[in-house]
Amino acid sequence: RSKLKIGLIPADGIGREVIPAAQAALEALGSDIPKPEFTHLLAGFEYFQRKGEALPDETVETLRESDCALFGAVSSPSKKVTGYSSPIVALRKILDLYANVRPVVSVADTPGGKPAVDLIVVRENTECLYVKQETLEHGPHGKEARATRLITERASRRIGRMAFELALNRPRKHVTIIHKSNVLSVTDGLFRETVRAVPALEDGRYDEVTIAEQLVDSAVYRLFREPHIYDVMVAPNLYGDIISDAAAALVGSLGLVPSVNAGDTFVMGEPVHGSAPDIAGQGIANPIASIRSAALMLRHLGYSKGADRIDKAVDEVVREGTVSTPDLGGKSKTQEVTDEIVKRI
């Protein structure tokens, strides 16, 4: 590649404040990556309110012609709005980005020291309750709402494979399967058994990887008490969503935790946090989750040198702590943190 075509979808709220920071970090890499070519794309709830659609075709078409993308965050209302559907949930399905990979790592106090938390949540990204097949009926005792929870062997197998592949590249090589098959023996049972069966399909490739499993409720409990027991956690969509926000609390802020939505042919970086309406418009959102998402995106594309440079600059700034946003107890603006990181890249 001589150029890297990157679609930028800031969308709503602080997404619009943090995506430019990720762009600045990528631009600072110079010749360590192919020359980035950014396209600004529209989507989101605010766009929906103006135009009546949340995800224009043009955005999807441009993404199909891009090498990768960065997504900010959307403000999805908690009440049903006719005609609206979350563009990020849609994009994951349309582009078949079946894995949401979320590394949660605390920065060690000393250079070379061991982080207290160093795990990856590997979240299935296309099914579970997020198929959004919901019905509302009137029963004899009032309203009755139902939702379909879809778990397929195919999706469980490919997310399991992703988890084992990631484990292979980590020192501890340990996978924990998160489920609730003591209650949901059919759906979670299928997820658990299918992931467990992945090594047998790969003929020795994952021999070094150890496997454990944990019920999702006690997994959250143990995550808070002894986070070091986890290395790679693989989970169905909803559990993975919840566990990764919980894990973010352990490292200080949602504003630090990056992710990528990965498929076999496309990758989209995205901070784990949402549009944060409580702080949007003030210029104080932490840009680090987005900057690290850009690094993670590069890593998935094979540009590890560029990714390392970004992560190293972020680690330094977090460790020193002199320039930090209010979520980490500081007084700095988004722009100041971004400038400090870019300077070090």
Beta strand segments in 256-316, E: 260-262, 267-269
The residue from 113, 277, 281, 321 that contacts ligand NAD (CB under 6 A) is 277
Give alpha helix (H) positions in 12-152.
15-27, 45-51, 57-64, 87-94
Q: How far is the CB of 89 from ligand NAD (least distance, A)?
A: 8
Q: What share of the chain is helix, strand, coil (3-state, %, to 5)?
A: 45, 20, 35
Tell me the HSE value of 179 on the side-chain side, using a 13 A CA sphere: 24
The residue from 7, 240, 274, 306 that contacts ligand NAD (CB under 6 A) is 274
Q: How far is the CB of 31 from ligand NAD (least distance, A)?
A: 30
The residue from 327, 337, 338, 341 that contacts ligand NAD (CB under 6 A) is 327
Q: Which is nearer to ligand NAD, 102 or 273 (CB)?
A: 273
Partner from ligand NAD, Mn ion, none contacting 30, C-beta within 5 to 8 A by type: none
The count of residues interacting with ligand NAD (CB under 6 A) is 21
Q: Which is nearer to Mn ion, 17 or 241 (CB)?
A: 241
Residue 241 binds Mn ion (CB under 5 A) = yes
- Cα distance from N-terminal residue to C-terminal residue, the chain: 22
Residue 270 binds Mn ion (CB under 5 A) = no
Name which of residues 52 to 91 contact ligand NAD (CB under 6 A): 73-76, 88
Q: How far is the CB of 274 from ligand NAD (least distance, A)?
A: 2
- For the stretch 305-311, contacts whose Cβ atoms lie closer than 8 Å and that sit 24 or more positions apart, written own/partner, are 305/32, 306/26, 306/29, 306/32, 306/33, 309/29, 309/32, 309/345, 310/25, 310/29, 310/341, 310/345
Q: How far is the CB of 261 from Mn ion (least distance, A)?
A: 12
